Copies of this chain bind each other. A is one copy, B any other.
Amino acid sequence: MDRLTALNVFRHVAELQSFAEAGRRLGLSPAAISKNIAELERHLSCRLIHRTTRRMALTEEGRLYYRQVAQVLDDLDEADRSLFPMQATPSGVLRVSAPTTVTLKLLSPAIPRFLAQYPQLTLELDLDDRRVDLVKEGYDLAIRGSDRLEDSSLIARKLTSLEHVLCGSPAYFQGAGIPTRPADLARHNCIQFSLSSHSDFWEFSRGSERIGVSIDGRYKVGSSLAVRDALLAGFGLSVIPRVYVEDDLLSGAVVPVLTEWSLPLTEVYAVYGSRVHLALKVRVFLDFVSRALGGQ
């Protein structure tokens, strides 16, 4: 027996006082109505409906059970319907993990406008450069660099690519000299962003030429902001996403070197659970982030 169907059948029979009419209303044959009622009574070991040919009435037990069942079925409909608002309007709490610097530079200015668009949405944005576990830590979505992708069961949607620049302060280069070829870096103090894969092995390319250089330095740090601070302080040189030091390059606070060489890009992805039944709040944020980061 499909008990929900049987309960619904019972409810209709009780309200309409007729098996036949209940069948018409539910699009079921008289045999199905009769069968469902019989099986519900068998399940309960209890007569719910007193019936003879062409006539029926609820028993006392039937009347009691009807009142309760009607409430239960209404509550269940209500439970189903309670999910509709979240499907029609982005609402609830959206929890996102995003890397610090990308977010501060590229997303922060636009977030208030995004939230203005969706008044019923609350955004919890954790700035975190670690590779977080979405399921374990309860995130709806994470923004990551290509080298911090993980579960292949998650969906990764590319948002943008970050160019990098090799640079240092004028003061640093005045003291240490300007590298003219990648191999020169072996004799420089190279500041490392420790959360980057291969942070101690930098690759360069020019046309079809590719060179990899093992580098070292006295300062490894897990924050792009701290890397920039060290650059500005003249502590060394580093490979850093260009947008992080855009203003510094313009002002001359840092200068690019080995500019005829190209550096690998960092691909930025949005990572989330599944395309199927994607919550509306996740989808609208995804769209927002795609536009904000210029991803096509």
Q: Which of A's residues lie within 8 Å of B, judged by CB?
A: 2-4, 7, 41-42, 44-47, 50-53, 55-57, 59-61, 64-65, 68-69, 71-72, 75-76, 78-80, 82-83, 86-87, 92-93, 133-136, 138, 140, 151, 153-154, 273-274, 276-279
Question: A193 to chain B: closest CB distance in Å?
Answer: 27
**Would you call B86 and A138 a contact (CB within 8 A)?**
no
Query: Once the chains are docked, how many angstroms separate the CA of A67 from the CA of B296?
Result: 40
**Would you call A72 and B68 a contact (CB within 8 A)?**
no
**Would you call B55 and A135 a contact (CB within 8 A)?**
yes
Question: A85 to chain B: closest CB distance in Å?
Answer: 10
**Would you call B57 and A136 a contact (CB within 8 A)?**
yes
**Would you call A50 and B134 a contact (CB within 8 A)?**
yes
Query: Once the chains are docked, how many angstroms separate the CA of A47 from the CA of B135?
Result: 13
**Would you call A75 and B68 a contact (CB within 8 A)?**
yes
Query: Once the chains are docked, how many angstroms separate the CA of A96 from the CA of B86?
Result: 55
**Would you call B51 and A135 a contact (CB within 8 A)?**
yes
